[in-house]
Structure 1
Amino acid sequence: MIPLYQYSSFSNSQEIDRLGEIMRQCFGSSPSDWERYVNLLSTENFRILRQGDRIIAGLAIYQMGQWFGGQNVPLAGIAAVGVAPEARGKGAARELLTKTIQELYSSQIAISALYPATQALYRQVGYEQGGSYCKWELPIASIQLKERDLSMYKVSLRERHLFENTYNQQAQINNGNLARHSAIWTQILESEKEKEIYAYLIGSETAPEGYIIFTQNETTIEIRDWVLLNAWAARRLWTFLADHRSMIETVIWRGASVNPFTLLLPEQTAKITSQMIWLLRIVNVPLALSLRGYPTQLEAELHLDVRDDLIAANNGKFCLKVSQGRGEVSQGGKGYFQIDIRSLASLYTSFLSPQQQQRLGYLQTTSEALETANLIFFGDRPWMADFF
């Protein structure tokens, strides 16, 4: 008997074209958009679902990393999940995601993240809210800073290594920031709409203390990417933006729900205008827990009992031993901390505290294990500045 669905990667150019037709209808994109997207990610990073001899669904996978507790954890970013309209409502999307997660587990990928069009579908396969992605707006006239001690240098977008090195210094101290896929860097540094992109380094040209990459129109500066490694760089950048006030009214950026560098502004004029919550899935429980970073002075054990309906090897009891900032996971233990795979994702990222999870009814545990978990997963609220 032929299975209802067959999951695979592309085998020929006709399959690429067929998935492109589905994606264009799902997302309202053009043929050139699809061609550029395939070239950015390369064909081996797409998966398709067939019903008989027809391709009815597909998705893209960004193989990269995500920083948690100061450690880079192998991540599969899932994007462009699309199902042909005539095949919807029959479980195709869930089957596609289930097969993808099982493949990721077999490939020793620890975690997976995505931006949901709908939470219900992704929760069915173990994803849960993991961190924030916020759009900010700031009236430039309200900045009112005049600090120019640091130099700023206009640089070529081809100086990618300078941006990457500086970005990595910031990313590793922020839960949820990406160890970026090359496609994300390309999307930042290359304009697909003939719009000019400007880039400036802050401080030294060889060891910058920050940078900004942006576009502008008649009234708005939109920051595509920026890094600020200290308060001096932040003050210099706010001043740089304020120096555009004769023409520009507003600056826009994307990032965390709390930006500490806005405290350097005289008033609370920077506002969040929209927010999305990205989702995370723990693909491999022992691998994810062992690769994450933890508080360096903490010596502790947490005895977990995990439930996962999709990956059988994630079910059962695990003992997490934390020492000198690293975790070691073994099977077995006392199972005092009972949690399902979805709730473990929000705990893992530090998006929700153990106490918040307990109040929601998402875990059962002892008071001692609850306090241990609070120490182990303590950290800044997770966020991303990148959409994929």
Structure 2
Amino acid sequence: MTSDLRPLSVDDAEAAFALRAQAFNIPAGDRDRYLTRFRPDHHLGAFVDDRLIASLAVLPLGQWFGGRSVPMGGLASVAVAPEHRSTGVASRLMRLALSLMRDRGQVISTLYPATNVPYRRLGWELAGARVRRRLPLRTLADLPRPAVQVVAVDLDADLDRVQGVYDRVATMTDGFIDRTGDRWQTILDHLTRHDHTYVYAALEDDGELDGYVAYRHEEPPPDADEFYRLRVIELVAGRGAAATALWRLLAANRGVSATVSWYGGLHEPLSFVVDEQDARIEDDWHWMTRLVDVAGAVAARGYPTDADVTVQLALVDEVAPWNGGRWVLDVRDGKGVLTPGGAGTVRTTVGALAPLYTGLTSPWALARVGLLEAATGDDLRALGRAFAGPSPWMLDFF
């Protein structure tokens, strides 16, 4: 059965929501919000006899790497009607999305996979983390008391200041989303859609915000001896003192709540300032990234200013032929350039390049599993210097 692929129109919004609701068990109460914010230019669909049978969204986002915001297509809500699954229609939509992102200058693409295999076949690869941990609140009680004031925040009045905190931290955090355009409205919708959601900020001596935490109360398990559990939606801080003050604020709930959960990266800095290893991982959902335009992606991100390396690459990309072939990678003065040509000494794929690009893993690890072939020790050290940086993670989910 042949399907027609095309961008969605406003008239397709109801069908798109129904398909998404069926695929992801979205409650009917989300319908009005979805229809109000529906952007047809962000959606592609597959139709059989004018019936929408598959759809996806490509969100125009940016993602921070090496201190620079890289234009990124956020792939979201890949939904297929049950009777059309495993027919290849999702793959066709993804290929169309890939060409669309290239035309729009979105040099990388990131998504949260329900399953890895179909995306991996098309060149996406595990590239960063979003880890939810849970910790007993009593563990936070002995944190030092910093000379930082913590105050309640009115998001309607203080949103610009909260945004400023996030933006400062995001530039230093590989993988964070560059929250421009209407992205903050999406975040606000998420923060305010639940009852018992609270936002507090840490103030510097001059009254400027240096951190904030947004959290909500959740129902505890039936047999739990507590009134509620704490779930941190976001905790963002520029300095250690601000972060400590916000964690202590959460600990103040320990008389009526036993635990707190939050999202972080693979490596949790809080582990180094609490006494015991009491945090437990509840959910570890890695996101996947693809280099849509390898030359554009290399040029878009930042690099260590002391890196001065050249590596000869041979890249295989069976889905996006414009990426394939021999390339010379040059990184110096904090900038990267990928030039066609060269000897093609180090052989790899566009998928394997993604976790190296984001900093999720090292070239040595990729070489050990055969994803960097024929790389010498000098090649591995050069790639390690070029893509050195903090382990990538993000708060946003899409």
User: What TM bracket, shorter-length normalisation?
Assistant: over 0.9
1:5 is aligned, of 3, 6, 14, to 3
C-alpha deviations, 1:86-105, integer Å up to 9, x for none? 21121111111111111111
1:323-334 correspondence to structure 2 within 5 Å: 323-334=332-343
**Partner residue in 2 for 1:145:** 143
2:365 is aligned, of 346, 356, 360, to 356
Separation of aligned partners in 1, 2:209 and 2:10: 45
Structure 1, unpaired ranges of 5+: none
Conservation of the 8 A alpha-carbon contact between 1:336 and 1:369: no
Conservation of the 8 A alpha-carbon contact between 1:145 and 1:242: no
Offset at residue 187 of structure 1 (A) = 4.2
The one-letter code sitting in structure 1 at the alignment partner of 2:155 is L
**Partner residue in 2 for 1:154:** 152
Separation of aligned partners in 2, 1:381 and 1:145: 25
Offset at residue 334 of structure 1 (A) = 1.8
1:45 is aligned, of 42, 47, 53, to 42
C-alpha deviations, 1:198-255, integer Å up to 9, x for none? 1111023752111111112432121111112112112212221222222221111112
**Partner residue in 2 for 1:180:** 179
**Partner residue in 2 for 1:201:** 201
Conservation of the 8 A alpha-carbon contact between 2:367 and 2:375: no
Over the matched positions of the two proteins, sequence identity in percent amounts to: 30
The one-letter code sitting in structure 2 at the alignment partner of 1:160 is L
Offset at residue 77 of structure 1 (A) = 0.8
Offset at residue 113 of structure 1 (A) = 0.6
Q: More displaced, 207-216 or 282-291?
A: 207-216
Conservation of the 8 A alpha-carbon contact between 1:20 and 1:34: yes
Separation of aligned partners in 1, 2:238 and 2:192: 29
Conservation of the 8 A alpha-carbon contact between 1:235 and 1:264: no
**Partner residue in 1 for 2:215:** 214
Separation of aligned partners in 2, 1:40 and 1:147: 43
**Partner residue in 2 for 1:292:** 301
**Partner residue in 2 for 1:167:** 166
How many residues align structurally?
385
Offset at residue 60 of structure 1 (A) = 1.4
1:1-388 correspondence to structure 2 within 5 Å: 4-13=2-11, 15-40=12-37, 42-143=39-140, 144-158=142-156, 159-180=158-179, 184-190=183-189, 191=191, 193-204=193-204, 206-217=207-218, 218-367=227-376, 368-388=378-398
The one-letter code sitting in structure 2 at the alignment partner of 1:275 is D
Cα distance change on mapping 1:305 and 1:193 into 2, 3 Å: same
Separation of aligned partners in 2, 1:188 and 1:247: 28
Cα distance change on mapping 1:41 and 1:182 into 2, 3 Å: farther
The one-letter code sitting in structure 2 at the alignment partner of 1:369 is D
Structure 2, unpaired ranges of 5+: 219-226
Conservation of the 8 A alpha-carbon contact between 2:349 and 2:371: yes
Cα distance change on mapping 1:132 and 1:280 into 2, 3 Å: same
Separation of aligned partners in 1, 2:259 and 2:348: 45
TM-score norm. by structure 1 comes to: 0.94
Offset at residue 52 of structure 1 (A) = 4.1
Conservation of the 8 A alpha-carbon contact between 2:232 and 2:260: yes
C-alpha deviations, 1:94-133, integer Å up to 9, x for none? 1111111111112111100111111111112111110111
Q: More displaced, 361-370 or 308-317?
A: 361-370
Cα distance change on mapping 1:18 and 1:361 into 2, 3 Å: same
Q: More displaced, 182-191 or 245-254?
A: 182-191
The one-letter code sitting in structure 2 at the alignment partner of 1:51 is V
The one-letter code sitting in structure 2 at the alignment partner of 1:203 is L
Q: More displaced, 99-108 or 239-248?
A: 239-248
Q: More displaced, 182-191 or 73-82?
A: 182-191
**Deviant stretches of 4+, over 4 Å:** 181-184, 191-194
